[in-house]
Structure 1
């Protein structure tokens, strides 16, 4: 816990106003809920594995032990989420997603589209937890500091990413996937505008992933071409934040390779733009 409160917590902050929240409030909550405590310790151990390459195996093993304890404890709470434990449950779910994301970036085996879908399903567990206490968590809960900086509506001039979205709209799709994939396309644009808005936050980049319907995630797992192309374009948004988030560094590249390996040859020309952005490390928010 010392490492978290002196070092690892800093990697979760993108606004100075959140220092107190992550350094003090979250650890204080964790000491009353063992699943969150072990989730934090698992995250901290992986951060040490990242910082100390010569000790990677040691810290990774320790992280897995903490994850195992946390999962066992958390599983017993899933059917009994109350006003008293909704905040730690939500925080733990966030740590689980970060750990899963890191596992994708560091996997020694090929990452498959279904692995990406599975990680998004974990993130969507946050929605289920929030639904148990509608309204409370955003107003007077201890997590309120995370939500006080709403994205301000702003007109964003036409840019490279938006041009790509409009080009994708012109693709003719099979009737059975049209509605779901068109909605996912709209969601990509919404997420882009969120991360490009003034006073935005890193967390907004996951808006697309957390709002995708189960049917779209199944399309990704089944290698539906248009769904995979959208996933590759989404990876360009995440790429914007990889430089200062150790647990997602390389995520976009792994996702892109997964898409390239699964996509039909006839669809691969649609990957040229995301390939250029990701391999060149371009920030699509700043592209004209």
Structure 2
């Protein structure tokens, strides 16, 4: 119940913002109240036996995921590119995986299984041109700074996992896959990205942030034909790219050329 009410309060805030109409209620306070209770109940549910209430726990996980995806941080006193959806999608998978019964049986099994990147809609070849090749070229041109050398494998792993989606973002094919299938692929990417990458993002590593910008620019471009279908997703790609671009500043402007240009077309 709290998950539904928290997401509803978020939706009402967005509705009033887009309609530019005044609100007689502070939906932000309602959202915070119900979100706190939802997360508390959700955690308790996984600490106890969930076998008797699997459907409710799974439904709550999706509702909280939608809320996480809809959350953009506009407060300038906070880190502008904190990615709650990235954190939540990995967190729920960790919670499920740590629960023996949930991880190995029933409807929760799919939440801890590796993503299936065999979808017909996604090219399997690594592109030799475009944003992927541009990123690799910039990566190869980095000075031999120990920090970058130590984390190069993480950078390469993430951009290679994004390569098929980068190819889709460059295509102009309106007949490609069903948008919902593609959205699920992007959510899977966040859920299964390396823990080291998340740690680098949290420490504001510039190349990890650029990769996050590439992810959101790619997702926004590929799903641009589905505007209006998922209110909880629509604002995130452009906001994240802009926030990361502003944070990194002119020193990384060449690296951000493609993500910046991609979201300007949205």
Deviation at 1:264, TM superposition (A): 5.7
Could you say which residue in structure 2 is the equivalent of 1:9?
none
Deviation at 1:40, TM superposition (A): 1.0
Among 211, 223, 226, which residue is 2:207 paired with? Answer: 226
CA RMSD of aligned residues (A): 3.5
In the alignment, structure 2 segments of 5+ residues that lack a partner are 143-147
Does residue 126 of structure 2 align to residue 178 of structure 1? Answer: no
When residues 157 and 72 of structure 1 are mapped into structure 2, their CA distance, relative to the original with a 3 A threshold, is closer
Could you say which residue in structure 1 is the equivalent of 2:145?
none
Could you say which residue in structure 2 is the equivalent of 1:73?
41
What's the CA shift string for 1:130-158, capped at 9, x where partnerless?
Answer: 4333353279x9x9xxxxx9963357498
Aligned equivalents of 1:110 and 1:238: distance in 2?
Answer: 27
Could you say which residue in structure 2 is the equivalent of 1:167?
134
When residues 138 and 71 of structure 1 are mapped into structure 2, their CA distance, relative to the original with a 3 A threshold, is closer
- How do residues 41-80 of structure 1 correspond to structure 2 at under 5 angstroms? 41-52=5-16, 53-55=21-23, 57-80=25-48
In the alignment, structure 1 segments of 5+ residues that lack a partner are 1-36, 144-148, 282-288
Could you say which residue in structure 2 is the equivalent of 1:126?
92
When residues 236 and 96 of structure 1 are mapped into structure 2, their CA distance, relative to the original with a 3 A threshold, is same
Does residue 161 of structure 2 align to residue 187 of structure 1? Answer: yes
Aligned equivalents of 2:168 and 2:106: distance in 1?
Answer: 24
Asked if structure 2 preserves the Cα contact closer than 8 Å seen for 1:235 and 1:256, the reply is yes
Asked if structure 2 preserves the Cα contact closer than 8 Å seen for 1:93 and 1:125, the reply is no
Asked if structure 1 preserves the Cα contact closer than 8 Å seen for 2:127 and 2:167, the reply is no
Asked if structure 1 preserves the Cα contact closer than 8 Å seen for 2:6 and 2:31, the reply is yes
What's the CA shift string for 1:192-214, capped at 9, x where partnerless?
Answer: 57999634242222222111222
2:22 counterpart SS class = helix
State the TM-score, normalizing by the size of structure 2.
0.73
Among 60, 82, 85, which residue is 1:115 paired with? Answer: 82
Aligned equivalents of 1:87 and 1:150: distance in 2?
Answer: 26
- Which range moved further: 76-85 or 40-49? 76-85
Number of aligned pairs?
Answer: 236
State the TM-score, normalizing by the size of structure 1.
0.68
